[in-house]
């Protein structure tokens, strides 16, 4: 049981290049999320998918697109990378815990540098 996996772990892009960050979970969770984390700041939600077939914008969606490929996989695409997108990107998944809240579980992260 790998939990949440992300690829790649590290990436360096030049301004204007595109790339897709991959995320997969094997916990059969319905909801998945993409966050970015910058130094000294909390996690900021980019996009989320409450269930297979749906995606919604989070706090900072500009410059990103997502695809919920199936229940397991949720990808994040940068169409034209900018230096402001240099960050650590985390994917997470969640399921309602015993009828209460949605506990989120995180992947190891992708460290992206845009030059």
Partner 1 sequence: QKEVEQNSGPLSVPEGAIASLNCTYSDRGSQSFFWYRQYSGKSPELIMSIYSNGDKEDGRFTAQLNKASQYVSLLIRDSQPSDSATYLCAVNMGLDSNYQLIWGAGTKLIIKP
Q: In the complex, which residues of this chain contact partner 1 (CB under 8 A)?
A: 31, 40-45, 48, 50, 58, 90, 94, 96-97, 100-109
Other beta carbons less than 10 A from residue 113's beta carbon? 13
DSSP 22: E
Q: How far is the CB of 70 from partner 1 (least distance, A)?
A: 18
Q: How far is the CB of 98 from partner 1 (least distance, A)?
A: 9
DSSP 46-89: EEEESSTT--EE-S--TTEEEEE-SSSBEEEEESS--GGG-EEE
Please name every residue paired with 78 in a beta bridge, in sequence order, or none if there are none.
19, 64
Q: How far is the CB of 77 from partner 1 (least distance, A)?
A: 21
Q: How far is the CB of 16 from partner 1 (least distance, A)?
A: 28
Nearer to partner 1 by Cβ, of 79 and 96: the residue is 96
- 67: tokens are 């695809």
Nearer to partner 1 by Cβ, of 68 and 107: the residue is 107
Nearer to partner 1 by Cβ, of 41 and 62: the residue is 41
């Amino acid at each position: 049981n790998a939990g949440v996996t992300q690829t790649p772990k590290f990436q360096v892009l030049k301004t204007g290049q595109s790339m897709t960050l991959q995320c997969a979970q094997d916990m059969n969770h319905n909801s998945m999320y993409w966050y970015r984390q910058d130094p000294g700041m909390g996690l900021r939600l980019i996009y989320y998918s409450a269930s297979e077939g749906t995606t919604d914008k989070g706090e900072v969606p500009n410059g990103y697109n997502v695809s919920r490929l199936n229940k397991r996989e949720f990808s994040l695409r940068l169409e034209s990378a900018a230096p402001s997108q240099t960050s650590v990107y985390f994917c997470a998944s969640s399921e309602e815990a015993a009828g209460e809240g949605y506990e989120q579980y995180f992947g190891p992260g992708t460290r992206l540098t845009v030059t």
